[in-house]
């Protein structure tokens, strides 16, 4: 069995939620593996990240380098190539940074590459058996990846149950010296923060979230009324923003906001993973969709197959009645 | 600026219901409608807009078979100057690495300042662009949603990152960028436009023209293989509420209230 | 005109000014000729337009819409004022010529108007001038005091036109006063000189002026006479030369505009006149991109618009706040022509219209309902221009993303939804339907007399499929031998064409035409007015096409269809005319006759009905387009139905159904208002049971098949 490494994304001294998910993936690949976390960055916050992942990883490689203050994928790749041994399996989270880093890394490590994995079915004759989704999640595929000369695997965030942290603490090895000076032909300038808009959906306990199924701009009001009745806020998936029916600040998902509500009503949302990764904190998810095959029903707690435009107003009326407000 | 766009022809998810075939090991390919992969189309539009702003040529290349010529014509009808079809028996069954290897050989025959791909194909792994860049030792950026050409063979680009934020970068040319949808509004191409370029010859390249070792590509060399397709189990997690709408609403309200979802 | 012998003694008062008048004449006529010639320059550079056929039909248009002022009474006040002014002008034409000539040849008499006839004509013109003068006063007061809303110019379309309008009205008023003063001074002079007086019409403007002047001195009268003539002369030529700079040009152009007006309702102009479909690929550029891409007739439209605002007043897009106002499609183009084809100097041309004077949204906002064209007194055309502008945008790839998907799906799948071809006929397989009515698919050896052309929305939309099934059941009930094309059918392409995608339309048309011909059917029936219009006007050499409402109406007359009385007698029904059944094809009565044949059905008319029906929001691709608007057309329409006291809207078009049912929800009128298609209602009310007809009658019916 090859050695398994996980690249740990972190921000502000806090490891990304996916750190424990990658550990779970590694255990699924090889239950007996000694897991190694690779933490790169600069400054004091690096130590707190290393400390935090020691619960899930037996070994933590710390790489401090001034040029890694911001995780520039090209620099990270160069640093990884210097420290990683040949033939290992490298796990990276499949989000904007992983997409930037992983394919090129596989080339430089001469390793196989498989992306956006959402299930591990084991290893057989140096073939890693994984499950991916294609065609917008309409179908899944069994994929085999030859890991005999190593592999870079990106993991869909949220697809794996995080490995529970143990009190056993892994050791932290400082590998900074192996890296040396890093230069890149792509330079990070700054991050333009999206305007937050009038409503901060990240602060609400109840979200009524709409997708393509709302059909038209005029119907947005139907969902807004329900959100008002429930005392929650209105959020949405990407198509609604693309159609300019709601402001970008209302979007939940990988290119939108990450939300942590208690109750999440997904109305006419098909459930593409880009949307689902924006829902954190294990909320109670209610899916209402006309299409009984919509992937959202796989992740929801409760599913209802119905026409939104008819169902939502009736639900609103019912809730208003309960609040003693006479129905319209 | 010489711009190369790598495009692919894929079944269009907006016009197909992707289902399994009767054998249950592949998707049903009869009656599928194919079109250019959506982000690739944005990439071509972006290339055309850059060429219109600062001058230059746009070449669209695809690795595939005869059928794939159709998307090259469509992109040429949009305004791309050249279309190139890379096709060879030896290439079939290539994985992402194989495709990147073939494209690298093609890129080295030309003199491109900027190479664009779509961020991901419908059935792809968001991989070819990054691999190609690494093979060429060009800088790479993914999820690009704006491009500004600067003086001194540089670009200022933004990437779409979490929370709708934009990560601004400066990147040296030549480079490879993977383009995110929404970067622009691709122009419409009708039948008339396609007909107008119907007789423009499309050069094809095979393994020998590109000097690609057939053993390094194709199915035999692929380290990543799709075994089969299957339909994910339905409603695994969700408890489906059924019955009259009134009953459903009553139960739902109860459940939501229990979870603290009603004020 | 006065009697020759006496007139000579008065008219010489003008002789002293003969040279001056001659110069004014020459100057005026030359200027006018020059101005008109300059105005013709763009028309000579325009695209061709074949409008020289059917002279009789064209003359008929001139008589009906010109001489008979057919459209004017639709707006009562303004219409009647216009009819008076128009009639006045017609009366005054000869007099105007006489007055002009008399300045240089003081003894001139209009041929045929000497003696008694002349006296009578004079009396008529006295009144005519008075009426025109009064109309001008009323019109000015209307513009200044009452300010009808339709004359207002929204800020986005530029400055108000009121000053220009008042100026022109005032000029005409001055002309009338000058003319009357001229007659009055002469008559007063004749009185003073003891000559026999040309009788002035009692209480006319000249008559009143004469009674004011009669006590003036002879020399003062002479000055009045001369001065009035000079004022008339100058005003006349000023007005003549000023008209081609604004709304009054229609006085000259309307005759031509009416003669060359479009003849075929429901049709669209070809991409380029004189180029056959087979050779279209050789046409370099499609549609209108620059001003010069308009046809000369469309440019003439721009010159002819009288800025009356009736088009926009009836335009549903304008009514719901979309960025389209047909009036300004014309006014902006006219302003463009005036600016880029100046009176002096070289024209600068070939500027893009979209992004220049028109916005993309403005042009996509039109539903092609035809309300504007129906209303225009001068028969100015809009739909062809909008479609031509869209053709230009399509050709440039300039198409909203929301329309690109359905267009692509139409290309690849033959329907805008991107649904599978093999599911096109799935609507006939609904369980309960299949048991009562079997619909055959006309492929290979399966033949029938009649083809039911279903079209995309009815084939694929869950709700609308019910209209398809009702249509089939009705055809089945009357014993029609019919079938459908099934998977061989593609979208009729009606909206594809009206959205400017001519090439795609031709592909759809050719496919369907071939499929239809292969069936060998003798007639086609459809329940979709858009399909009806396409097959009738956009396709060539098709068997006769009927809309289901026409079939039902004729079968009600034939007795094959009898209706049960309505169950709920309290319901009040109103019929909404679909644009492509009503305005574009003049089918107004058949659907109403069907409703009135249902016993106990109470029917009311909405204030906007028949040719003034208000578009529901548009069909086909318009369902995909996301317009910028304040309100939905459908919502307005539903409110109109409510205002008429109806609680059931009956329509006869699948798209009306989609829009109106949606609008009922949006307007919050669920439970208070419902919508039903005529075919659905008719099918539901058909009295089935054993027909209570005698044996020989049954035999007749069977034989009649």
Q: Which domains does chain A have, with CATH numbers?
A: 4-178 (3.40.50.620), 201-322 (3.40.50.1220)
Nearest-Cα distance to chain A for B12, in Å, is: 8
* C632 chain-A contacts, CB cut-off 8 A: 218
How far from the centroid of its chain's Cα atoms is residue B97's Cα?
A: 15
Tell me, yes or no, whether C314 and C382 share the same domain.
Answer: yes
DSSP calls for C275-287: --GGGGGG-SS-S
d(Cα C488, Cα C516) in Å, to the nearest integer?
9
Partner residue facing B134 (CB), from A99, A107, A188? A107
Q: Which residue has the tokens 């999206």?
A: A194
Q: Are residues C627 and C504 in the same domain?
A: no
Instruction: Tell me the residue range of the domain where C648 lies.
Output: 560-685
Q: Which of B23-37, C158-172, C533-547 has the highest average model confidence (pLDDT)?
A: C533-547
Pairing status of strand A59-64 against strand A171-174: parallel
Report yes or no: A298 and B233 within 8 Å, Cβ to Cβ: yes
Query: What CATH number is attached to the domain comprising C671?
Result: 3.40.50.10700
B193–C397 CB contact, under 8 Å? yes
Is A281's pLDDT higher than 80?
A: no
Is the CB of C413 less than 8 angstroms away from the CB of B33? Answer: yes
CATH superfamily ID and name for B2-221: HUPs (3.40.50.620)
B226, closest residue in chain A (CA to CA): A143
Q: Is residue C3 scored above 70 in pLDDT?
A: no
Residues 6+ apart with CB under 8 A from C601: C566, C571, C573, C595
Contacts B33 to C, Cβ<8 Å: 412-413, 418
- Asked whether residue C6 carries a pLDDT value surpassing 60, the answer given is no
Residue C311 binned pLDDT confidence (cut-offs 50, 70, 90)? very high
> Do C575 and C651 reside in the same domain of the chain?
yes
Q: Which residue ranges of chain B lie beneath pLDDT 70? A: 163, 233-236, 263
Whether B263 and A231 lie within 8 Å, measured CB to CB: yes
Encoding tokens for residue A293? 């095959």
- C395 part of contact set with chain B, CB < 8 Å: yes
Average pLDDT taken over every residue of chain A: 90
B16 touches chain C (CB under 8 A): yes
Consecutive H or E run containing C436: helix C431-436
Nearest to C422 among B31, B188, B189 (CB): B31
Q: Which residue has the tokens 């695209």?
A: C47
C693 lies in a domain?
Answer: no
Q: Which of B190, B191, B194 is the mutation pick for testing C, counting most C CBs within 10 A?
A: B190
What residue in B sits closest to C401 (Cα-Cα)?
Answer: B185
pLDDT mean across residues, chain C:
91
By percentage, how much of chain A surpasses pLDDT 90? 60
Residues C273 and C50: beta-carbon distance below 8 Å: yes
Mean pLDDT of all residues in C184-194: 86
> Which residues on C lie below 8 Å from B196 (Cβ)?
281
3-state secondary structure of A89: strand
Nearest to C394 among B14, B78, B188 (CB): B188
Distance CA C173, CA C133 (A): 5
CA distance A91 to A22: 7
On whether both C203 and C110 belong to a single domain, the answer is yes
Q: Chain B residue closest to A186 (CA)?
A: B171
pLDDT, tens digit, 9 for 90 and up, residues A255-274: 788 888 989 999 999 887 77
pLDDT at C690: 53
Q: What is the mean pLDDT of residues C565-589?
A: 96
Calculate mean pLDDT across residues C591-606.
97
> Are both C207 and C59 inside the same structural domain?
yes
Determine the Cα–Cα distance for residues B129 and B117; give it in Å rounded to an integer. Answer: 6
Beta bridge partners of B204: B85
Q: Domain-by-domain residue ranges, chain B?
A: 2-221
pLDDT classification of A142: cutoffs 50, 70, 90: very high
- Beta-carbon neighbour count of residue C670 at 10 Å? 13
Residues of B in contact with A103 (CB under 8 A): 96, 126-131, 134
Chain A partners (3+ C-beta pairs within 8 A): B, C
B15 CB neighbours in chain C (<8 A) are 408-409, 412-413, 418
Check whether residue C107 and residue C186 sit in a common domain.
yes
Give the one of B15, B31, B188 whose C-beta lies nearest to C418's C-beta: B15
Contact call for A145 and B249, based on CB within 8 A: no
Residue whose C-alpha is closest to residue A208's, from C662, B262, B165: B262
DSSP B129-170: HHHHHHHHT--EEEEEEEEEEETTTEEEEEEE-GGG-EEEEE
Same domain for C334 and C475? no
Please give the residue that has the higher pLDDT: either C501 or B253.
Answer: C501
Asked if A135 is an interface residue toward chain C (Cβ–Cβ < 8 A), one would say no
Neighbouring residues of A216: CB distance < 8 A, sequence distance ≥ 6: A245, C626, C662
Clarify whether residues C42 and C113 are in a common domain: yes
Residue C138 has pLDDT above 50, yes or no: yes
What percentage of residues in chain C have a pLDDT greater than 90?
A: 75
Find out whether A303 and B234 touch, Cβ atoms under 8 Å. Answer: no
A153 Cα to chain B: minimum distance (Å) = 11
> What's the average model confidence in pLDDT over A15-26?
92
* Stated pTM of the model: 0.88
Q: Which of C419, C500, C394 is nearest to B190 (CA)?
A: C394
Cα C663 → chain centroid: 26
Does C82 map to a domain? yes
> Residue C588: is its pLDDT beyond 50?
yes
Q: Is the pLDDT of residue C265 over 50?
A: yes
pLDDT tens-digit map of A83-125: 999 999 999 999 999 999 999 999 999 999 999 999 999 999 9
Looking at beta carbons, which residues of chain C come within 8 Å of A243? Answer: 402, 626
pLDDT at A314: 92
Mean pLDDT across C386-396? 97
Whether residue C402 lies within 8 A of chain B, CB to CB, comes out as no
* Alpha-carbon distance B51 to nearest alpha carbon in chain A (angstroms): 22
β partners of residue A284: A263
List CB contacts (< 8 A) between C406 and chain B: none
DSSP category for residue A41: E
| Residue C551 sits in the same domain as residue C573 | no
The nearest alpha carbon in chain B to A111 belongs to B223
Closest-CA distance of chain A to residue C610, Å = 29
Q: What percent of chain A has pLDDT over 70?
A: 98
**pLDDT, greater one: C393 or C201:** C393
Task: Give me the pLDDT at residue C704, please.
Answer: 41
Taking the Cβ of residue B241 and every Cβ of chain A, the question of whether any pair is shorter than 8 Å is answered with yes
SS3 category, C16: helix
Residue B195 touches chain C, beta carbons under 8 Å = yes
In C, minimum Cα distance to A221 occurs at C666
Chain A nearest C-alpha distance from B159 (Å): 8
In chain B, which residues have their Cβ closer than 8 Å to the Cβ of A248? 164
Helix then strand then coil, in percent of chain C rounded to 5, is: 60, 5, 35
What pLDDT, in 10s, does the model give residues A168-221?
A: 678 999 999 999 899 999 999 999 987 767 788 888 889 999 998 888 888 899
Determine, yes or no, domain membership for C143.
yes
Size of interface B-C (CB pairs under 8 A): 57
Q: Which of C626, C666, C668 sits opposite A243 (nearest CB)?
A: C626
CB < 8 Å to A249, chain B: 164
Smallest CA–CA distance from C624 into chain A, residue: A216
Q: B191 to chain C: which residues are within 8 Å by CB? A: 411, 503-504, 507
Say if the Cβ atoms of A255 and B164 lie within 8 Å.
yes
Neighbours of chain B (3+ CB pairs under 8 A): A, C
Which of B 74-93 lie inside 8 A of C, CB atoms? Answer: 78
pLDDT band at A325 (very low <50, low <70, confident <90, very high): low
Of C209, C242, C259, which residue constitutes the final position of a domain?
C259
Tell me which residue in C397, C399, C412 faces B33 most closely, judged by beta carbons. Answer: C412
Task: Please tell me the distance in Å from A141's CA to the nearest CA on chain C.
Answer: 24
Work out the minimum CA distance from B16 to partner chain C, whole angstroms.
7
Query: Residue C172 in contact with residue C211, Cβ under 8 Å?
Result: no
**Beta strands B57-63; B2-6: pairing state:** parallel
Q: What is the enclosing helix (H) or strand (E) of C590?
A: helix C589-596
Closest CA to B88 of B72, B65, B71, B104: B65
CB contact under 8 A, B192 and C422: no
Q: Are residues C530 and C588 in the same domain?
A: no
Alpha-carbon gap, residue C543 to C534, rounded angstroms? 13
Question: What is the count of structural domains for chain C?
Answer: 4
Q: What does the pLDDT average to over C388-397?
A: 96
Question: How much is the average pLDDT of C82-111?
Answer: 89
> What Rg value do the Cα atoms of chain C yield, rounded?
31
Tell me the mean pLDDT in the region C306-333: 96
Torsion of CA C154, C157, C163, C168, to 10 degrees: -120
Cis peptide before B174 (omega within 30 of 0): yes
Find the closest chain A residue to B96 by CA distance.
Answer: A113
From C80, C85, C371, C73, select the one nearest C248 (Cα to Cα): C85
Spatial neighbors of A293 by CB under 8 A, at least 6 apart, are B234
Measured CA to CA, the distance from residue C87 to residue B54 in angstroms comes to 63
With an 8 Å Cβ cutoff, are A135 and B156 in contact?
A: no
Residues of A in contact with B6 (CB under 8 A): none
Could you give the strand order of the β-sheet that contains C674-677, starting from the edge strand earlier in sequence? C602-604, C572-575, C648-651, C674-677
What residues of B are in contact with residue A300 (Cβ under 8 Å)?
237-238
- Picking from C397, C404, C420, the nearest residue to B17 by CB comes out as C420
Spatial contact of C28 and C204, defined as CB atoms under 8 Å apart = no
Transcribe C321-369 into DSSP letters: T-S--HHHHHHHHHHHHHHHS-SSS------BSBTTTB-HHHHHT----
What residues of B are in contact with residue A97 (Cβ under 8 Å)? Answer: 161
DSSP code for C680: H
Please count the residue pairs, one from chain A and one from chain B, whose beta carbons lie less than 8 angstroms apart: 261
- Rounded to an integer, the average pLDDT of C409-424 is 92
Facing A309 at nearest CB: one of C632, C665, C668: C665
In a domain? residue C690:
no
């Amino acid at each position: 069995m090859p050695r398994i490494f996980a690249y740990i994304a972190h921000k502000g001294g806090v490891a990304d939620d996916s750190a424990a998910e990658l550990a779970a993936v590694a255990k699924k690949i090889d239950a007996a593996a000694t897991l190694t976390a690779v933490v790169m960055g600069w400054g004091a916050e690096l130590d707190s990240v290393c400390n935090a992942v020691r619960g899930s990883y037996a070994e933590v490689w710390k790489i401090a380098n001034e040029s890694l203050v911001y995780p520039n994928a090209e620099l990270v790749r160069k640093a990884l190539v210097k420290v990683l041994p040949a033939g290992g399996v490298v796990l990276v989270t499949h989000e904007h940074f992983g997409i930037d880093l992983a394919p090129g890394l596989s080339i430089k490590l001469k390793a196989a590459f498989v992306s956006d994995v959402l299930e591990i079915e084991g290893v057989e004759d140096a073939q890693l058996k994984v499950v991916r989704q294609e065609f917008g999640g309409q179908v899944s595929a069994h994929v085999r990846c030859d890991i005999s000369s190593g592999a870079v695997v990106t993991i869909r965030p949220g697809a794996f149950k995080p490995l529970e942290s143990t009190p056993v603490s892994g050791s932290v090895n400082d590998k900074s010296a192996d890296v040396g000076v890093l230069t890149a032909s792509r330079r990070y300038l700054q991050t333009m923060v999206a305007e937050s808009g009038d409503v901060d959906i990240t602060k609400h306990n109840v979200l009524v979230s709409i997708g393509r199924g709302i059909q038209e701009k005029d119907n947005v009001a139907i969902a807004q009324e329900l959100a008002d009745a429930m005392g929650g806020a209105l959020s949405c998936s990407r198509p609604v923003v693309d159609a300019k029916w709601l402001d970008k600040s209302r979007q939940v998902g990988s290119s939108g906001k990450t939300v942590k509500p208690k109750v999440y009503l997904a109305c006419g949302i098909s459930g593409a993973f880009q949307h689902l990764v924006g829902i954190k904190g294990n909320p109670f998810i209610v899916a209402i969709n006309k299409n009984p095959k919509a992937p959202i029903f796989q992740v929801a707690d409760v599913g209802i197959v119905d026409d939104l435009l008819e169902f939502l107003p009736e639900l609103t009326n019912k809730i208003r009645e309960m609040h003693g407000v006479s129905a319209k | 600026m010489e711009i190369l766009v790598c495009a692919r022809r894929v079944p269009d998810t907006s016009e197909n219901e992707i289902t399994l075939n009767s054998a249950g090991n592949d998707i049903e390919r009869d009656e599928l409608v194919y079109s250019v992969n959506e982000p690739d189309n944005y990439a071509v539009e972006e290339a055309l807009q850059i060429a219109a702003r600062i001058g230059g040529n746009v070449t669209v290349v695809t690795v595939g078979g005869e059928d794939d010529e159709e998307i090259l014509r469509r992109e040429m009808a949009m305004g791309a100057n050249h279309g190139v079809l890379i096709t060879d028996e030896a290439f079939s069954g290539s994985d992402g690495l194989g495709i990147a290897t073939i494209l690298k050989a093609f890129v080295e025959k030309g003199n491109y300042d900027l190479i664009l791909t779509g961020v991901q194909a419908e059935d792809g792994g968001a991989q070819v662009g990054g691999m190609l860049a690494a093979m060429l030792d060009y800088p790479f950026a993914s999820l690009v949603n704006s491009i500004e050409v600067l003086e001194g063979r540089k670009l200022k680009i933004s990437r779409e990152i979490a929370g709708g934020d934009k990560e601004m970068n400066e990147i040296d040319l030549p480079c490879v960028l993977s383009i995110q949808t929404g970067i622009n509004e691709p122009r419409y191409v009708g039948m008339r436009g396609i007909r107008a370029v119907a007789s423009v010859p499309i050069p094809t390249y095979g393994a020998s023209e590109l000097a690609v070792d057939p053993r390094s590509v194709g199915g035999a060399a692929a380290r990543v293989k799709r075994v089969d397709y299957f339909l994910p189990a339905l409603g695994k997690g969700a408890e489906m509420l059924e019955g009259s709408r009134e009953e459903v609403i009553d139960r739902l309200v109860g459940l939501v209230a229990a979870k603290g979802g009603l004020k | 005109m006065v009697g020759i012998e006496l007139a000579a003694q008065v008219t010489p008062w003008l002789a002293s000014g003969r040279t001056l008048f001659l110069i004014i004449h020459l100057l005026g006529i030359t200027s006018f000729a020059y101005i008109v010639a300059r105005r013709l320059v763009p028309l000579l550079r325009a695209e061709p337009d074949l409008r020289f056929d059917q002279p009789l039909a064209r003359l008929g248009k001139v008589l009906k819409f010109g001489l008979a002022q057919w459209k004017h009474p639709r707006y009562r006040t303004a219409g009647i004022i216009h009819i008076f002014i128009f009639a006045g002008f017609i009366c005054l034409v000869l007099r105007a010529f006489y007055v002009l000539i008399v300045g240089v040849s003081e003894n001139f008499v209009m041929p045929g108007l000497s003696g008694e006839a002349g006296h009578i004509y004079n009396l008529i013109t006295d009144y005519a001038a008075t009426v025109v003068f009064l109309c001008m006063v009323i019109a000015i007061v209307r513009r200044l005091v009452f300010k009808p809303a339709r004359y207002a110019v929204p800020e986005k379309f530029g400055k108000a036109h009121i000053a220009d309008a008042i100026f022109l009205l005032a000029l005409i008023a001055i002309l009338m006063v000058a003319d009357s003063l001229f007659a009055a001074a002469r008559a007063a002079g004749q009185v003073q000189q003891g000559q026999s007086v040309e009788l002035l019409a009692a209480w006319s403007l000249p008559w009143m002026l004469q009674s004011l002047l009669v006590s003036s001195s002879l020399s003062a009268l002479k000055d009045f006479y001369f001065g009035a003539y000079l004022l008339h002369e100058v005003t006349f030529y000023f007005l003549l030369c000023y008209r081609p700079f604004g709304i009054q040009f229609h006085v000259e152009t309307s005759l031509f505009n009416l003669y060359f007006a479009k003849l075929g309702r429901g049709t669209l102009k070809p991409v380029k006149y004189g180029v056959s479909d087979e050779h279209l690929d050789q046409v370099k550029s499609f549609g209108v991109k620059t001003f010069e891409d308009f046809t000369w007739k469309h440019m003439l439209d721009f010159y002819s618009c009288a800025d009356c605002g009736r088009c926009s007043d009836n335009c549903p897009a304008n009514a719901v706040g979309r960025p389209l106002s047909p009036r300004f499609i014309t006014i902006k183009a006219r302003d463009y022509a005036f600016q880029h084809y100046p009176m002096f100097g070289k024209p600068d041309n070939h500027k893009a219209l979209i992004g220049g004077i028109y916005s993309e949204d403005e042009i996509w906002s039109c539903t092609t309902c035809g309300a504007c064209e129906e209303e225009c007194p001068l028969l100015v055309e809009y739909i062809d221009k909008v479609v031509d502008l869209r053709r230009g945008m399509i050709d440039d790839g300039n198409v909203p993303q929301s329309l690109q998907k359905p267009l692509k799906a139409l290309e690849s799948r033959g329907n805008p939804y991107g649904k599978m071809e093999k599911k096109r006929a799935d609507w006939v397989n609904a369980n309960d339907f299949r048991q009562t009515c079997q619909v055959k698919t006309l492929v290979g050896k399966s033949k029938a007399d009649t083809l039911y052309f279903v079209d995309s929305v009815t084939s694929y939309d869950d709700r609308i499929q019910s209209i398809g099934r009702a249509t089939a059941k009705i055809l089945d009930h009357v014993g029609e031998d019919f079938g459908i094309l099934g998977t061989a059918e593609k979208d009729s392409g009606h909206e594809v064409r009206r959205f400017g995608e001519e090439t795609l339309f031709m592909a759809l048309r050719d496919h369907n035409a071939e499929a239809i011909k292969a069936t060998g059917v003798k007639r086609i029936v459809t329940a979709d007015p858009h399909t009806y219009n396409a097959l009738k006007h956009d396709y060539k050499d098709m068997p006769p096409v009927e809309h289901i409402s026409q079939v039902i109406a004729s079968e009600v007359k034939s007795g094959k269809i009898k209706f049960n009385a309505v169950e709920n007698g309290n319901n009040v029904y109103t019929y909404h005319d679909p644009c492509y059944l009503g305005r574009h094809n003049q089918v107004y009565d058949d659907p109403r006759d069907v409703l009135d044949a249902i016993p106990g059905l109470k029917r009311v008319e909405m204030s906007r009905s028949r040719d003034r029906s208000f578009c529901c929001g548009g069909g086909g691709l318009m369902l995909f387009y996301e317009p910028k608007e304040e309100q939905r057309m459908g919502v307005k329409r539903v409110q109109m139905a409510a205002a008429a006291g109806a609680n059931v809207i009956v329509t006869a078009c699948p798209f009306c159904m989609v829009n109106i049912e949606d609008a009922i929800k949006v307007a919050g009128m669920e439970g208070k208002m419902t919508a039903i298609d005529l075919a659905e209602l008719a099918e539901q009310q058909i009295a089935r049971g054993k027909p209570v007809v005698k044996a020989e009658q049954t035999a007749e019916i069977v034989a009649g098949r």
